[in-house]
Structure 1
């Protein structure tokens, strides 16, 4: 199977989601950050190109206890290890813990 730029967005999504502290990809406030593939889309990952080279935009939600800067750097390193491209990371949301609250007093 030939490896295309669009397939790359799925590989990027997988490595980003594997970074500790990442809750998931985030498509932006209006769903504008995505890569569109035949019959599906990869939210939170967009490959762009300026006059010089291709670059990667990754938008994520982090778990509430994840160190923001360190997690963003870990995301950059994970993507760069896969594709040696510049990576811009945007933290869109911090997700609170999902703990169940007991309804009985006592």
Structure 2
């Protein structure tokens, strides 16, 4: 059985998708993986149950298409492990850029 990817590897794969603006930890920061000295926000990998991914998406295409692409790509890495993707927010081209 192939080795499961790490939370950081999954985060990098999700962030590489052009419609993903950023990862999101959910309303209370519950979608995260914790490690000594750091955490990976937006990816939760419980020992049993689905991997959870929290994202903010760009509205450059239908959300369902983006979510299906993400789920398919992650499923290739995770095999039989189910993947739940939570869209926490969306951005449009008209959204003002946040400044400091």
TM-score (norm 2): 0.80
1:95 Cα shift?
Answer: 1.5
Q: Which has the larger radius of gyration?
A: 1
Unaligned 5+ residue runs, structure 1? 101-106
User: 8 Å contact 1:33–1:59 — kept in the other structure?
Assistant: yes
Q: Which residue matches 2:88? A: 92
Task: Quote the offset at 1:32 in angstroms.
Answer: 1.7
What is aligned with 1:27? Answer: 25
In structure 2, the partner of 1:71 is 66
Gaps of 5+ in 2: none
Per the TM alignment, residue 78 of structure 1 is displaced from its structure 2 partner at its CA by 1.4
Q: Please report the RMSD computed on the Cα atoms of aligned residues, expressed in angstroms.
A: 2.1
SS of residue matched to 2:25: coil
**Aligned equivalents of 1:90, 1:61: Cα separation in 2:** 9
Please list the CA deviations of residues 1-53 of structure 1 after superposition, one character each: whole Å capped at 9, or x if unmatched.
xx7x6x61111101111122111110111212100011111001101244xxx
Name segments (4+ residues, structure 1) moved above 4 Å. Answer: none
TM-score, length of structure 1 as denominator length: 0.76
